[in-house]
Structure 1
């Protein structure tokens, strides 16, 4: 039974202190009691969109654990509120908390399309797949209002440049017209994240994401239109969704996904505190078991920064997860291949149109 004291519609249940800040923020019990007596709301729990104008938008990815060379993010912070999200820590660099601030203070990069176009037109730039959402979801609720992702996809099409997408939002189908045109030239690959087939699990893990049914439908629609889809069964959290690996793999394969990938959950930086607070409030009967099993996957800690190990885990539980994934791939993805994207067209379209000579 979930406690009625939790922050409804959010993943994180508090704001952790920013490690870069001299000051800390605390909601005191006497303040909460004052609000109760006076009939005032202590926290309006509203999402705030904050405009920012960065100087660059395409990021070189150097981590050997991430299967991409370049990424870009039109938004910082994510209203989806996934409790395990590794991107939470990045919000501290902007002066905010990795907790509730990450979900409620969304930075909107209004000049993202302009910066992308400048990058693709640069004589020094050589085509290499740029992945949207290497950090935060490009189809989070903010996209409905600002449509920066759609504008960027139009630029990728104009310059015939390969683009990857990672999302857990069925809003991607709004842009099916552009995705089909990109796919005509082998320029698009989509990664749909799906962590559970249980709507109750989805609701508490990822409170403002698209339903599981809608995500599976998105995989099916994209696949029927020939657009390659990789299913991201990530993260696998022992004691929460680790028992679903085979069922998840079958569900996404049945809808046409060409491949699947996974990670074992890790809780670096502030995420360990945020996740621990969350699970003790939402799943108190499971909390100790789940936390101990996560620790067993990372040499006794929730935090793991070791390249090559941090996303795979180690130990008996991690080994069981890997064995299940191998079985799932062998059973449901045999003879399926996710294609490499086309990098050969872009050079001829550097000025936005095909060069004849």
Structure 2
């Protein structure tokens, strides 16, 4: 294995790379007919280019719980307080979802951040409906609930406050150290078997991480997050994802071992997914940052995706197919078995759910 940190990783705008951003490209929205293209106007004058800034956009959502019926997902409902993600991970499968808002999957995804200021009120309203049936809510199924703007907006924390009041189970997916801010709520909920956290770690190499995930917490910081959550009594697992053939897949066992040492109780992985515009964006990133490896990496991805860069089909989209993907799965099974991870444990408890008003009424009746 050749460590990526020893390779040339271009990080300068002259190579078409914005420092601190996952991509400098902003491909057209696939739903728009009109296209804007750069052209040579004949004037040999330098163009003034300013660094892209993050813009926050209010979302006037009328509901907050998203539901899915995908047969290969182990959850049915989720809440995403943000759309778009400033972490800027170049491999993020959620990038193409920004097109539904009229934005690009490229630079727009990491600079045009849509936030839901009424999220907590909407959640409380939905949980209070008489016909509501409880089931674990996942925070961060699409974009990170602890991306940088959460430090000031605290939307995710307000959601956790509602979930705690209702004794509603929650599962969190994040790659941010920001989750430690809410360890007070999460530890109380975990004591009732109402909360768990999954921390995503893609690589242990800080140089590669900085290039792939420019505004996310460093790998060492994420391991510290796992340790901090475990110490607080919160069930925590690691998502060694996505695995990118020929780029970070050699680190699979090392990531899982480091996470287990820090206190992770479970470990899972998925193969890189490149839906819609993401295939071109990721290919462009490879050619700009790691040109000497780009062809090999893309070839291995195609070998694991029946000749294509992406497989949208249920049951194979996460694991891939073919010998290379099968070997990756076998390696994951072996390290999990060796470290005694993924042991059977009670699912999050849905039986404690009750609206605060109903609990207060029961308590009041008990006085008589």
- TM-score normalised to the size of structure 2? 0.92
Partner of 1:80: 87
Structure 1 position 158, deviation (Å): 0.7
Runs of 5+ unmatched residues, structure 2: 1-7
| Whole-angstrom CA distance in 2 between matches of 1:260 and 1:354 | 42
| Whole-angstrom CA distance in 1 between matches of 2:43 and 2:183 | 47
Structure 1 position 352, deviation (Å): 6.6
Whether 1:233 and 2:244 are equivalent positions in the alignment is no
Partner of 2:304: 297
Structure 1 position 339, deviation (Å): 3.9
Residue correspondence of structure 1 range 1-357 to structure 2 within 5 A: 1-3=8-10, 4=12, 5=15, 6-28=17-39, 34-36=45-47, 40=48, 42-334=49-341, 336-347=343-354, 349=356, 351=358, 353=360, 355-356=362-363
More displaced stretch, 331-340 vs 115-124: 331-340
Pick closer, same or farther for the CA change 1:335–1:81 going to 2, 3 Å: closer
Whether contact under 8 Å (2:127, 2:355) holds in the other structure is: no
Structure 1 position 30, deviation (Å): 5.3
Root mean square deviation of aligned Cα: 1.7
Structure 1 position 310, deviation (Å): 1.0
Whether contact under 8 Å (1:10, 1:81) holds in the other structure is: yes
| Whole-angstrom CA distance in 1 between matches of 2:58 and 2:176 | 22
Pick closer, same or farther for the CA change 1:34–1:112 going to 2, 3 Å: farther
Pick closer, same or farther for the CA change 1:146–1:31 going to 2, 3 Å: farther
Paired residues, what number?
353
Structure 1 position 354, deviation (Å): 6.6
Partner of 2:3: none
Whether contact under 8 Å (2:265, 2:342) holds in the other structure is: no
Structure 1 position 184, deviation (Å): 2.0
Runs of 5+ unmatched residues, structure 1: none
Whether contact under 8 Å (1:81, 1:208) holds in the other structure is: yes
Pick closer, same or farther for the CA change 1:305–1:335 going to 2, 3 Å: closer
Cα deviation per residue 1:101-138 (whole Å; 9 max; x = unaligned)? 00000001111111111011111111100000111000
Whether contact under 8 Å (1:197, 1:248) holds in the other structure is: yes
Whether contact under 8 Å (1:121, 1:350) holds in the other structure is: no
Question: 3-state SS of the aligned residue for 1:14?
Answer: coil
- TM-score normalised to the size of structure 1? 0.95
| Whole-angstrom CA distance in 2 between matches of 1:354 and 1:186 | 24
